[in-house]
Every structure is written in C-alpha cells, then in structure tokens.
Structure 1
C-alpha cells in the first residue's frame, strides 16, 4: 500500500508539488508572539518530509521559471526605492547597508574557509542565517553554471536547502531578540524612550504641515437664467473666471452631461464646489442664477494617484485642496511622508475629491498614475528575457568564473524595469495583487521543488553536516548585526532609532521591524528600514553566488 502511494507521487510530481504547497502554507501560519514560521520555511519542511518517499525527478525548467518570476518581481518592487536611496540625503543608510554586507561576507567567508564548509552548505547558510530566501535560487543558479558533474550539482543543491532549513529559525528569532532587546542594552538606551524623543525632535506627525486646507468646503446647485453671463461659456471658462469655486457637474434636461466641454445653456443646472468665503463673493457679483437644493443632485468622489511633474508647485496643490480635495497619502523619494511641503517633481500624491474637478485639476500638477487591474505581461516577459541573457554572461577572474546566473540577471532587470515603470506609470503595470502572487507562489513553488528533490538525501546530509552548520549560522546571523551596530553608532553617529531600523532593512528581517514597532508602539523605524531593505535585497542576493564561486 505505502509502496503504491510513493510510486504514485514519484510518477506524478505535480501532485506532490501542490500537496507540498498546500500543507506548507498551512504550517507557515504557525507563530509564537512576533516569530512566525512563514510559508517559505513551511513549504521547505513539508517538501523535505514528502521527499522521503523517494527520488523525485522534476524538470529544472519548472524551478527556473517560477524563481525568475519571483526574483524579477522583487526587483520591480524595490527598484524605485533602490535608485532613490542613492541620493545624497540617504548617504548614511547606503554606507551602513554596504558595511553590513561587507562584514557579513567577510564573517561568512572566513568561517567557511576555517571550517572547510562546502559551497552548497555555504549558499544555504547565507540564505538561512541572513533570512534572504532568494539566495537559495541565486546559489543554485551559480551551482548550475559550475563545470562539475550533474551528480555533484544535485548534491550541492540539496546541501543548500538543508543548510537553509537548519539556520533560518535562529536567523529570524535570534536577530529579532538581538535588535529588540540586546542592541539597546549595548548602546545603553531605553528603546521606547529614545523613540519618543526621536519623534518629538523630528516633529513627526500626521498633519499636512505647511499647506493650508480649507475645512469650509460646500457644494451648491444653481440654475442658469436667460440673462446669465455664463450661457455660451464652457466649464473651463467658469472655473478660470471665478476664484476658489469650480463646476463639478452640469445637469441638462434632468440628465448629467457626460461631455463637460459643451457650452452652457439656459436652464442648465450647475453643481459648484468651493469655499464658503468664495461663494459669498460669487453671490455678491450677481449672475442671474437661481439656487436649488444641492441634495437633489448627488455627486461622486474619486481617488487618484498623481505623479508630480515639473509643472507642480505647492501653490497649485493648495489651490486644488481648497476645492474640497484632500490628500490621502504621499511618497517622497520612495517613502511615505506627512510633511507635504517636501513634495517635489517625481513624487506621488494620492488625492480624494470630486470626480470631474479632480480629473481637470491634476493636469496642472502632473498626471494620473495608471492603477491598472491588468498585468502588462509583455513588459514583464521582455524584462525577464533580458535578465536571463544578462545572467548568462560569465566573467572569469584568475580561473574563478563569476556570473549572476538567471536569477541574478532577472533581479537586476527587475530593478531597472521597476524604476522605468515609476517614471512612465502608464506602461508596464503589474498590480499589487499580481505582484503578491508572483512573489509568494513563485518563490514557494521553487522552494517546494527544492525540498522534494533534496528530501531523499536529507537524513544522510544532516548527519554529515551535524552541529557545525547550526553554530556557523548563529555567528553569521549575529556578528554582522553587532559589528554594524557599533560602526553606525561610533563612525556614522546614527541615533538608535535610525540605527536599528536600518539594520532591520540591511538584514532584510521584517520580523525584527515588526517587533521593535510593537515594543515602542511606533512605526517610525520604517523610515530608515525602507531604503536599506531595498539595498539589502540586492546585496545579499548577489552575495550567495559570489561565495559559491569563490569556494569551488
């Protein structure tokens, strides 16, 4: 019976893959306080268990396709923030992220050489100890490019998966405890009190500082009488000749006009939005209008994300806000801000207001970013294609072959295509829901296949690795964070909030960010986490294939 079940799974690997995903995602929901096992570890562990049934034969192209989708999407998402982080104002964060990566590389490579760690184990330790799951894929890509036998490649890839599983838990929990509890003690600081002082010093709040927003916005309805001077004029003419008020809708013969470029006619009803004081001035001028009950003419609100262009000025934005438009959120240099006076060309602002007025007004400050519900598959596919070509390039230095591999190439292509899409929002749209699916399913299907293929040799490999891999993983997890913490404190003169927040990003450990946020009841750490997280995703992902190449 058991033999028949195993044989069925081995001859139908797609069944095993989807069972691994289903059970792995369920296992990944397990959590204790701030530590959550996560889908990736859950899928890997389930894959290793199901892999005990025998040696699964799964075409390598399956892993490659899904990993390329995942890694391209990662690059696409962090690309704009990665490029923005190189601006001068974030120089300390850039230096810290680079220093963290260099220290991590030196510590890891030194330990690997001292203890004669094999290159497959090394790739897995980096992926697990530094909690960068993408390293599994880039390490495997580097192994595939090596001039060794297929059996040796398979064994090395199994070592990657097993070493990752052994080191990931401490890489998450150990670093979380270090950054939340031990790091503040080393710096002799109370984290909660230091966070409060940081917020007060930097005047961080949720107000729209510097921009005057009127709270006295009203919508009024008027009927044009035969002597009204606006008859024959357009909506644009009305808006330009009346400061502080604008037409939102025109009702003709009981129906809303769909084309607001038509001239106004006698007996048209206009719905006007504006400030009370501007309405008072408008009424004093006398325009042969009769007022109606505006409640009989419902108007709709809309939300638009606007890319600010060189036409933008704070005065133009203030004028729009004084027509009943409010700012929902804004991003400057890739990070959310509450001080809207910092907005400049190239930033994004999400506005909520009357549909027709907002559509007309945003042309004065920029243009709408296409929200998009459909994925530009052509844009994405061409990006991955170019990335794979880039990854195929091999540079030999002193007999050491260095290559990004297909995964590394797709990552850098994603960086560029993500940055390009931000500059031209109406092309290359990949909606958030699609990006989540590509990242989650892309990575975890790849990980599931890795687990299934490594499962049959798991027990033997575990015996060969022993406790040494776990101990090395602890050192690779903690030492880079400790040394970078001290470097940032005494050399870069960073305060504790920026120091810990950016370390969470440099080590790409979101669990630690969530932990310090919960500890201090504040999300201010995200300000320094965001730029270094973008950098960390790139630097750590590239580190794995470099270590593999140097250890061969």
Structure 2
C-alpha cells in the first residue's frame, strides 16, 4: 500500500502540527559553532517552509497555544511580580521599561523614515524583541493586518534571537569583565549555591546514631554546647532506663547517658572520637525521621533569619536545602526568609509537623493540577480582555493577551498567599508554556509562509537592518544603564538584558558561559515585566 505523504499532510493539519513540533527541536538543536537557536526559532523556520508549500495547522491551535503560554508565564511570575515594592524589583521594572521604550521609539522612527505600514512595524517591533505576547497583542489589535504582522514578526524573530545570543556572549569582552568571576561574586552576595547538586546533597547526608557517654570531657556540657561543637543534634536521651524526648537546650550531659545523635555524616569522625563505638538501643533508635519541602507563606516569618526561626534549637530539625524562585541558596544563618522560599527540612515527624504549622505549608499531592482554577483563570483573562473603554471613538482595553497576563499574575500571587487552591506542578507548568508557545509560533510561521513570496519582494535590506538595530540596541542600553547607573552586578544585568528582550536562548547561552545560575536570576527579574510592556507596545504600534 503506497502512502502519499505530501497529500496526507495537506489533508491532516493536526498531523502537521506535530511534525512541526518535532522539527522545531531538530532545527533548534543544530549547532553552528557554539550557536544554538532553540525550539522557538526552529518552529518558525519550519512553519515558514511548510506554509510556503501550502500546508496548514488546525485552525485555532495557535490561539489555544497562546492562551496556555501567556497564562502559564504570568501564573509562574505572580508570586514575584508584586515584589516591585522592593528596591531590587523596581530596578528590574525600570530595565524592562527601558528596553521596550527604546525598541518602540526605534521602530516608530524607522517606520516613518522607510514608510513601513502599521502591520509591518508592529511585527518588526514584536519579532525583533522576540516577544510572542507582542505578536499576539498586535494580531488581536489589528486582525486586518494579520498577514503583514505574521510575516514581519516571523522574519525578525530569527534576527532578534540570533543577534541577542551573539551580542550577549560578546558583552563581557566588549566591556572587559570576567563573567565567571562576577557570577561567583554575585552568588556570594546573594547566598546562591553553585555547583553540582548531587555533590551538595551528599554534603548534607544525615545520619542517626546512638552513643553512650563515657568521655569525661562531655560531662556537664549542655545540649546547646554539644550542638555548637559537633553541628549535631541530640533528639532524645536515655538516663537510668528512662527515655527523655522533651528537654531544655540547657539540659546537661551526665556520665552513662545514652544519646540519640543526628547530624551530617561528615561529622561522623568527631562523634567516633568523642564516644567510641555506637550502641544498639532500640528504645532510642525507633524514632521516625521524615523530610519535607516546606513553602514559606506565614507573614510573621518574612524577613526573619534562618537562625531566628529556631529550626535547630527549638525543633531539632536540619535544613538541607533552600530554594528561591528555583535557585538554590546557601544555608546561611543570617539569610532572610522571603515569601515563597522552599525549605527542605528533615527532622522528627512530630517536630516537623509543628514547625510546618508555624512557617508555611507542605504540598501533599505533588502531581495533581487544579485544572478548575487553571481553566477558570484563562476564561477570566479572556473575558477581562474583552472589556473596552471608548475614548474619542477609540477602543482601549487590555485585549486577550493583557487580560490573561493580568489574571495569571493575580492568581499566581494569591496562590502564594493562600496555597489551598490553584496548584500547578512545575513540570506541568513547563509543558503548558513550552507547547503553548510552540503551537502559537507554528500558526504564525504557517501564516507567514503563505505570503512569503509577496512579502520578501516588497521588503529590502533596510527592513532587516532595522530589525538588527531594534534587537541589539535595547540589550546594550539595559546593560549600560544597569551597570553604570544602577551599579548592579554585571552578570546579573547581563541576564536581565536578555530577559528585557525575552530572549530565552540568549539567557541559556550566557548562563552556560558563566557556569552559573546568576544570569538566570536577572533574566527572571525582567522577563515578566517585559512580556507585559511589549504586549502593550506592539498593540499601540498598530495604531500609528
């Protein structure tokens, strides 16, 4: 039986969608030297080719993909978005505004000089800043210009992506600073843990052992003094056949006591020197130890240091990991706690339950997704975007893109305060973002490919040079302003520069060269704000 592949694809637009998805990663993973584009440019290239030869994807797939992408991005950014009241957050808002403002101004000037019509200009702006939200907002604001917006954004998206990668990697040489050294410096300042996570976990492997006190140097020592010397905790002790579990940190150790000691396995040699051989005491060793990831959401602990929480002294528990916005932080007693921090803590089950009630909550079902809230948020964002205010005959509103971003940010923030609703596991959120973005760009690429021949003949080299200037100038401006005016760390600002033009592949390239997650922190700081601002700017450009 012979199968006509070409005809099959033309008759099955749903199949084309998944072919494009596979090609996106195939093309995106191709390395040209050290340059790797990533999946979004890959699916635009594939979409342009397939659209040029008359293939289609399912109608509405790009819209559904866009809804998933925008809402997931906003929901993830919600907990941190409202931190703009903090000085550092205000800086990131300013950096995102500078990038969008410069991009908008340059696009407007070029449109006036070279006579680009509004649809071409809007696509030029959104594509050069690699902004899917900008493309979507422009398409919604001016559906009659959809062909020109799709074509110009698809062509310039590639220019924006490649130029952002190359420029971001060149900035350390241009401005003569050591990216690796600056990343290490920022990591120390921000208590960020760098290095291999498996090795870090090994350093915090814990051991539970029982010993009998025969060493005279230990007699009369308090439990607090013992902990300060050994970095290990006494969870319970046995004296004259009685087991004590509730005792003061000032309780003193006596000759013949049997102690249940818990601490890092790296301290094992010290314990062996102090006590000698272990003892097998079933009464002591039957204690149940558990480990939980506790998310901080109690307002009374915000700003407190790890030491002041009394995790060791009051609850006899060990912190083995701290993460903030996906970044692992150093376990420093002076580290101030923030909303949404995730503390991985091990300790006696009863103690850990009490501690959890005091500082936050534990996710009980890590795999469940609250699809009611997720779907409701998308519906709410869509409806909000349909509300318009008419001023002098001009309709002004958020649009679907703005509505989804607003509701997603709001619900993400509310979940961080009230974690009883809206759970979306990180892996699920990644799927929504990645597939949503790629399906949206597949539709843009297909539509652009269908009018590619006419468009390319109408556009000359000036269009592509304009895109190059729009793509690179905001990155340079943000870096210069962040380093020389705001006096921020260059590695952080470099990451923020890639976030300000929503260039994820550029961020990945910078992080790889820095051998650090520090640029990722800067990227996350500007990305959400830039997404919102670029959506507004692109929609406004269609009116000019």
Equivalent runs, 1:294-313 vs 2, <5 Å: 297=286, 299=288, 301-312=290-301
Structure 1 stretch displaced more, 529-538 or 27-36: 27-36
- For structure 1, the residue ranges without an aligned partner over 5 or more in a row are 145-152, 231-237, 246-269, 277-289
The alignment status of 1:169 with 2:158, answered yes or no, reads yes
The alignment status of 1:529 with 2:523, answered yes or no, reads yes
Instruction: Find the counterpart in structure 1 of residue 218 from structure 2.
Output: none
The alignment status of 1:364 with 2:358, answered yes or no, reads yes
Counterparts of 1:422 and 1:204, CA distance in 2: 22
Q: Deviations over 1:471-497 (max 9, x none)?
A: 111010112223333334454344533
> Which residue, out of 319, 323, 345, partners 1:352?
345
Q: Deviations over 1:328-382 (max 9, x none)?
A: 11338x9754345343463423223136142233223333245631111110111
The alignment status of 1:72 with 2:71, answered yes or no, reads yes
Instruction: Find the counterpart in structure 1 of residue 388 from structure 2.
Output: 394
Instruction: Find the counterpart in structure 1 of residue 421 from structure 2.
Output: 427
Q: Deviations over 1:159-191 (max 9, x none)?
A: 333323322333223223323324652x45454
Equivalent runs, 1:67-146 vs 2, <5 Å: 67-144=66-143
Counterparts of 2:173 and 2:424, CA distance in 1: 40
Question: Closer, same or farther in 2 for the Cα pair 1:451/1:403, shift >3 Å?
Answer: same
Q: Kindly state the Cα deviation for residue 242 of structure 1 after the two structures are TM-superposed.
A: 5.0
Contact 2:311 2:318 in 1 (8 A): no
The alignment status of 1:215 with 2:231, answered yes or no, reads yes
The alignment status of 1:507 with 2:514, answered yes or no, reads no
The alignment status of 1:181 with 2:170, answered yes or no, reads yes
Counterparts of 1:239 and 1:319, CA distance in 2: 15
Counterparts of 1:202 and 1:388, CA distance in 2: 38
Counterparts of 1:371 and 1:343, CA distance in 2: 28
Contact 1:329 1:350 in 2 (8 A): yes
Counterparts of 1:463 and 1:244, CA distance in 2: 84
Structure 1 stretch displaced more, 394-403 or 373-382: 394-403
Structure 1 stretch displaced more, 97-106 or 362-371: 362-371
Contact 1:43 1:444 in 2 (8 A): yes
Count of residue correspondences: 488
Q: Deviations over 1:394-440 (max 9, x none)?
A: 33445443333212211111111111111112210011111111111
Structure 1 stretch displaced more, 5-14 or 451-460: 5-14
Instruction: Find the counterpart in structure 1 of residue 209 from structure 2.
Output: none
Give the structure-2-normalised TM-score: 0.77
> Which residue, out of 445, 449, 461, partners 1:451?
445
Instruction: Find the counterpart in structure 2 of residue 341 from structure 1.
Output: 334
Structure 1 stretch displaced more, 517-526 or 412-421: 517-526
Instruction: Find the counterpart in structure 1 of residue 223 from structure 2.
Output: none
Contact 1:375 1:429 in 2 (8 A): yes
SS at match of 2:292: strand
Question: Closer, same or farther in 2 for the Cα pair 1:543/1:361, shift >3 Å?
Answer: same
RMSD (CA atoms) = 3.8
> Which residue, out of 324, 327, 330, partners 2:320?
327
- For structure 2, the residue ranges without an aligned partner over 5 or more in a row are 195-199, 204-226, 252-257, 265-278
Counterparts of 1:448 and 1:340, CA distance in 2: 49
Q: Deviations over 1:108-133 (max 9, x none)?
A: 22212322222332233223211223
Question: Closer, same or farther in 2 for the Cα pair 1:18/1:308, shift >3 Å?
Answer: closer
Question: Closer, same or farther in 2 for the Cα pair 1:360/1:191, shift >3 Å?
Answer: closer
Q: Kindly state the Cα deviation for residue 446 of structure 1 after the two structures are TM-superposed.
A: 2.2
Counterparts of 1:58 and 1:306, CA distance in 2: 41
Give the structure-1-normalised TM-score: 0.76
Q: Kindly state the Cα deviation for residue 391 of structure 1 after the two structures are TM-superposed.
A: 0.9
SS at match of 1:97: helix
Contact 2:75 2:409 in 1 (8 A): yes
SS at match of 2:342: strand
